[in-house]
Amino acid sequence: EAQVTQNPRYLITVTGKKLTVTCSQNMNHEYMSWYRQDPGLGLRQIYYSMNVEVTDKGDVPEGYKVSRKEKRNFPLILESPSPNQTSLYFCASSPMSASYNEQFFGPGTRLTVL
Amino acid sequence: DQQVKQNSPSLSVQEGRISILNCDYTNSMFDYFLWYKKYPAEGPTFLISISSIKDKNEDGRFTVFLNKSAKHLSLHIVPSQPGDSAVYFCAARTGGSSNTGKLIFGQGTTLQVKP
């Protein structure tokens, strides 16, 4: 089954404790991206990657890191989480094409930083 | 600055009637518009899209209309069904040489279809 998986689905942590949210896709997509969803703000892009070893900032990259060492994986790293990073996070992927129309989203990771 | 806006946080319609969800945008460089649907505890799923060179795209019960002069698009669902109850996100993309695949999302509209 073609899918984007994220782990963990739910996480409660404390300020300053480093964490990683994993994202993996089995569709051989070149393009992967991380979004956060906050009430009243919709989804905002954090980082994206057009291929292995190619990453770039989205609209809200502060406080986050990513890496793309393999095509299928795109982990999101919070080196020192803060309460304002409490949010719902989505990973997405799509084939590298002229349109990027249909981005496939993972099920989401709800993060709470105390 | 919210480049894509969905000004109605929620919409309630009766089963069988038409649902109209609206979206406004400010950036004239957007060349592709998409609608995503999201159920609770799931990720958004692609629903329908429209290129800026068109003014209408239809897929079954779903039709998207684009009015470029007004920088406005709408999603029509006819007839509405209870299973359509979800959050609907409008999204826009900047294409051409500046295409990074980034989608700019609106805030979302929660649609409730009552049986």
- A64-105 pLDDT, tens digit each: 999 999 999 999 999 999 999 999 999 999 887 655 568 899
- B21-38 pLDDT, tens digit each: 999 999 998 989 999 999
The residue among A37, A52, A41, A39 whose CA lies nearest residue A93 is A52
User: Which residue in B45, B91, B101 is closest to A94 by CB distance?
Assistant: B101
Please tell me which residue of chain B has the smallest CA distance to A42.
B107
Rg (C-alpha) for chain A, rounded Å, is 13
User: Which residue in B46, B99, B107 is closest to A42 by CB distance?
Assistant: B107
Rg (C-alpha) for chain B, rounded Å, is 14
Contacts of A90 in chain B (CB under 8 A): 43-44
- B10-19 pLDDT, tens digit each: 999 999 999 9
- B79-107 pLDDT, tens digit each: 999 999 999 999 998 766 566 677 899 99
- B22-78 pLDDT, tens digit each: 999 999 989 899 999 999 989 999 999 999 999 999 999 999 999 999 999 999 999
